[in-house]
Amino acid sequence: MLQKIIDFFRSLFGFSKSKEPSKPPKKWDEIPDTKPEEEELVVNEEEEPQDGSEIQPDTIVVTYEPDPILEIPEVEEPPVVTTTPPVIEEPPVVITTPDPPTTTTPTENEPVSASHTPRFLWCLDNGHGKKTAGKRSPKLENGEQFREYEFNRDIVNRMITALDELGVKTYNVVPEVDIDNFLEGRVQRANGKNSDLPKLYVSVHANAAPARPGKWAEDSIHGIETWCYHGSKKGRKIASVFQRHLIKKTGWKDRKVKSQSTKQFYVIRKTSMTAVLTENGFYNNKKQCKELLKEEVRQKIADAHVAAIMEIEKKGII
Q: Which residues bind Zn ion (CB under 5 A)?
A: 51, 127, 205
d(CA 290, CA 227): 24
d(CA 234, CA 67): 12
276, 33 Cβ separation under 8 angstroms: no
Nearest residue (CB) to Zn ion, 232 versus 280: 280
- Minimum Å gap between C-beta 260 and Zn ion is 16
Nearest residue (CB) to Zn ion, 171 versus 266: 266
28, 316 Cβ separation under 8 angstroms: yes
What phi-psi label fits residue 251: left (phi over 0), alpha (psi between -120 and 50 degrees) or beta? left
241, 317 Cβ separation under 8 angstroms: no
- Minimum Å gap between C-beta 128 and Zn ion is 6
- Minimum Å gap between C-beta 133 and Zn ion is 12
At a CB cut-off of 8 Å and minimum separation 6, what does 205 contact? 51, 52, 127, 128, 148, 152, 277, 278, 279, 280
- Minimum Å gap between C-beta 228 and Zn ion is 16
Cα atoms in the Cβ-side hemisphere of radius 13 Å centred on 114: 0
Nearest residue (CB) to Zn ion, 229 versus 265: 265
- Minimum Å gap between C-beta 205 and Zn ion is 3
- Minimum Å gap between C-beta 277 and Zn ion is 8
d(CA 248, CA 49): 28
Q: In 165-177, which positions are buried (b, 16+ CB within 10 angstroms) versus exposed (e)? A: ebbbbbbbbbbbe
Nearest residue (CB) to Zn ion, 56 versus 142: 56
- Minimum Å gap between C-beta 278 and Zn ion is 10
Nearest residue (CB) to Zn ion, 152 versus 169: 152
d(CA 318, CA 316): 6
Of 206, 106, 101, the residue nearest 160 (C-alpha): 106
Nearest residue (CB) to Zn ion, 51 versus 313: 51
Widest CA span of the chain, in angstroms? Answer: 75
Nearest residue (CB) to Zn ion, 125 versus 311: 125
Nearest residue (CB) to Zn ion, 34 versus 260: 260
- Minimum Å gap between C-beta 142 and Zn ion is 24
